[in-house]
Amino acid sequence: MEKRSKDEAVIRRIRMQKEMARHGMEGCLVTQNVGLYYFTGSMQTGYLFIPKTGEPTYYVRRSLARALEESDVRTVELGAFRQFGAKLAEDYPEVFGRKPALIGADLDVMPAQLYLRLTEAVPQASWMDASAALRVVRSVKSAYEIDKISQAAEVADAALREGLSSLREGMTELELMAVIENSMRRAGHIGLMRMRGYNQEIMTGVVAAGEAAAEPSYFDGPAGGRGLSPAAPLSSSKRPIMRDEPILIDIGCCIDGYTIDQTRTAVIGELSEELLHAYETSEAIVRRTEALLKPGARPDQLYFEALNMAAEAGLSSHFMGFGGDQVRFLGHGIGLEIDEWPALAKGFSEPLEPGTVVAVEPKFTFPGIGVVGLENTYVVTETGCRALTKSPETLFCL
């Protein structure tokens, strides 16, 4: 694995400290694996404390030896958890003085049990939710991060090609997914794509055909897929792929923690006029979004523009799901997690910055028939946007 430069850790810490200052935090405690990796370069069990000024410290429970080898920041043994407050006060007396210090934490993902233990172990802290600040900092990617996502895109493209070359009528969704996953795993895909959302899980993606792709699911996306059972109620099933039905190939690939997300539509034979019209509308939405995706653009306006285009095409009821299972976004930030900020959705009005990476995924769901659409991942540049997705953008007719 290519190791990031130590400057990465410094730049990320400074960005976080600026966000902390905006919110009046005197420190921030990072507890989630992905956050630990982002700021330290290691994912060993422990807690990272970032003070409002100065150097952070990574308090590690297990494995300290590996954390010392991997981490870009000061790394020490955690010791007894009940003494954590005393250790923080010793290391950061300017933060943990006589009055309670306002300390942020990743409360959106922290288990309640850990929160209660922290209130006991660190009584000199007054806790606040720092999850928005943490997500804002991570929304702008460095050149190193963009390169990792691009590497993942190359692997996903090769896997898509291998999958399509093996696709045959009667092949099951799961068999096609297995070909794609096997190709990516051989090339270094870690085997999962991380999500921040509570109880949200995702496999390598969704490879689903016909009505199975259009079956609703708990997954917060426009297409969940039938899945293998109620214990895994999304993604691929053992349903055979038939002629003249849409095949949704929505796959991600994660290299060194960083994920690409892309969707292509295929068919053995040809699509109906209704489905072809929907697919062409998704293409038009992608083209329009590309034109608008630039520094200063508001994510919510990109979503509203897509809604208008879907309505003009007479497809509002099918856009991004169907009925009560429609999702209300056009795309999402992506990087170490697949549901990063910003979302291209109502409520996200902060202008885009260069370095922001988003997946744009206009899809149309037809219950009992299938799902068609596209998804590309883009980085916002100084003047516009650049696609990181490598796969040809076409309707694959086999």
> What residue numbers bound the domain in which 370 lies?
140-397
Same domain, 169 and 190: yes
- How is residue 300 written in tokens? 């919510």
Distances (CA, A) of 385 to 132, 287, 302: 24, 12, 13
- Using only C-alpha atoms, the chain has a radius of gyration, in whole angstroms, of 22
Nearest residue to 13 via CA among 66, 51, 64, 59: 51
Please check whether residues 129 and 198 belong to one and the same domain: no
Name every residue whose Cβ is closer than 8 Å to that of residue 205 and which is 6 or more positions away in sequence: 177, 193, 235, 249, 250, 251, 252, 261
Question: What integer pLDDT is reported at residue 309 of this predicted model?
Answer: 98
Sequence-distant (≥ 6) Cβ neighbours of residue 10 within 8 angstroms: none
Which residue among 122, 138, 154 closes a domain?
138
Mean pLDDT of 345-353: 97
CATH number of the structural domain spanning residue 150: 3.90.230.10
39 belongs to a structural domain = yes
Confidence grade of residue 180 (pLDDT, cut at 50, 70, 90): very high
Report the pLDDT value the prediction gives residue 4, as an integer from 0 to 100. Answer: 85
Pair (82, 220) in one structural domain: no
**Do residues 133 and 157 both lie within one domain?**
no
CATH number at residue 38: 3.40.350.10
Task: With a cut of 70, say whether residue 113 has pLDDT above it.
Answer: yes
Least trusted range by pLDDT, from 126-130, 196-200, 250-254, 306-310? 196-200
In a domain, 46, yes or no: yes
Q: For the segment 290-301, what is each residue's pLDDT rounded down to a tens digit? A: 999 999 999 999
Q: For residue 63, say if its preceding peptide bond is cis, omega within 30 degrees of 0.
A: yes
What is the model's pLDDT at position 98? 74
Q: Which of 138, 165, 191 is the last residue of a domain?
A: 138
Q: What is the mean pLDDT of residues 181-205?
A: 93
Q: What is the band of 99 on the pLDDT scale with cuts at 50, 70, 90? A: confident
Residues 58 and 177 in one domain: no
Say yes or no to pLDDT of 5 above 90: no
What pLDDT was estimated at residue 1? Answer: 64
pLDDT higher than threshold 90 for residue 201? no
1 part of a folded domain: no
What CA–CA distance (Å, rounded) separates 328 from 318? 12
What confidence score (pLDDT) does residue 103 get?
98
The burial of 365, by beta-carbon neighbours within 10 Å (0-12 exposed, 13-18 middle, 19 or more buried), is given as buried
Counting residues of the chain whose pLDDT is more than 90, the rounded percentage is 94
Same structural domain for residues 110 and 153?
A: no
Residues 6+ apart with CB under 8 A from 293: 302, 352, 358, 360, 378, 380, 384, 385
pLDDT on residue 97: 81
Give Cα 248 distance to the centre of its chain.
19
Q: Where a domain ends, among 104, 138, 172?
A: 138
Taking all residues of the chain, what is their mean pLDDT, rounded to a whole number? 96
* Contact assessment for residue 48 and residue 35, using Cβ atoms and an 8 Å cutoff: yes
Quote the number of domains for the chain: 2
In a domain, 376, yes or no: yes
Mean predicted confidence (pLDDT) in 173-192: 97
247 plus 335 within the same structural domain: yes
Tokens of 227: 């899945």
pLDDT greater than 90 at residue 326: yes
pTM for the full model?
Answer: 0.96
Give the pLDDT confidence score for residue 172 in this predicted structure.
98
Q: Mark whether 13 and 97 lie in a shared domain.
A: yes
pLDDT in tens, 232-287: 999 999 999 999 999 999 999 999 999 999 999 999 999 999 999 999 999 999 99
- Given a cut of 90, whether residue 42 has pLDDT beyond it is yes
Q: Are residues 93 and 148 in the same domain?
A: no
Kindly state whether residues 171 and 231 are assigned to the same domain.
yes
Is the same domain home to 104 and 199? no
178 shares a domain with 46: no
* Beta-bridge partner residues of 250: 206, 263
Residue 127 has pLDDT above 80, yes or no: yes
